[in-house]
Amino acid sequence: MKTALFPGSFDPITKAHVDILKRSLSLFDKIYVGVGTNSTKKSLLSVEQRLAMIKAVFADEPKVEIISYEGLTVNFCREIGASHMIRGIRTVSDFEYEKAIAQMNHALIPDIESIFIVSKPGYSSISSTIVRDVLRYGGDVAQFVPSPAIPFLKELG
């Protein structure tokens, strides 16, 4: 069975994340969405809120499992039996950043491959950071996040 991990903070999940994952479904038998915990980042949503939000977004997708993890992502891939890691690329700077991480991961565990999926042009400006800023200042994020995520974000206001 071909298994992949789509790691990220997903704070919050955006339409760009959903697009990348949906376009990856035909490539794998199972995709774990891994909510990584990063103690150096100030999160808007708790890990539990993010897990519940992502589960709501992918409730009808049997090939997707939502899970949280700590530590090196490449080690977590090995733990769950994922042979591939899915990463979304919006910009050239994303590519440079992701390429460096992919090369480091390959040096650590060579049999886990990174797959880069380029975002659709309409999603290239959407990031969780920008969505968090819009939320903090009371803006409407409905055009940037999947509709099942909206109730989780309204709880913050």
The residues annotated with a catalytic role in the active site are: 17, 41, 90, 128
To the question of whether residue 73 is assigned a binding role by annotation, the answer is: yes
To the question of whether residue 97 is assigned a binding role by annotation, the answer is: no
CB count in 10 Å sphere of residue 130: 13
Helix axes 92-108, 73-80, angle to 10 degrees: 60
To the question of whether residue 37 is assigned a binding role by annotation, the answer is: no
Q: Which two tokens stand for residue 97?
A: 């950043």
To the question of whether residue 89 is assigned a binding role by annotation, the answer is: yes
To the question of whether residue 138 is assigned a binding role by annotation, the answer is: no
Residue type at 14 in one-letter notation: T
To the question of whether residue 88 is assigned a binding role by annotation, the answer is: yes
To the question of whether residue 91 is assigned a binding role by annotation, the answer is: no
Q: How far apart are the first and last CA of the chain?
A: 42
Asked if residue 55 lies in contact with residue 120, where contact means CB atoms within 8 angstroms, the answer is no
To the question of whether residue 28 is assigned a binding role by annotation, the answer is: no
Q: Which two tokens stand for residue 92?
A: 């050239």
Residue type at 21 in one-letter notation: L
In angstroms, rounded to a whole number, what is the distance separating the alpha carbons of residues 46 and 56? 15
To the question of whether residue 99 is assigned a binding role by annotation, the answer is: no
Which residues are annotated binding-site positions for substrate? 9, 41, 73, 87
Which residues are annotated binding-site positions for ATP? 9-10, 17, 88-90, 98, 123-129
Which residues are annotated binding-site positions? 9-10, 17, 41, 73, 87-90, 98, 123-129
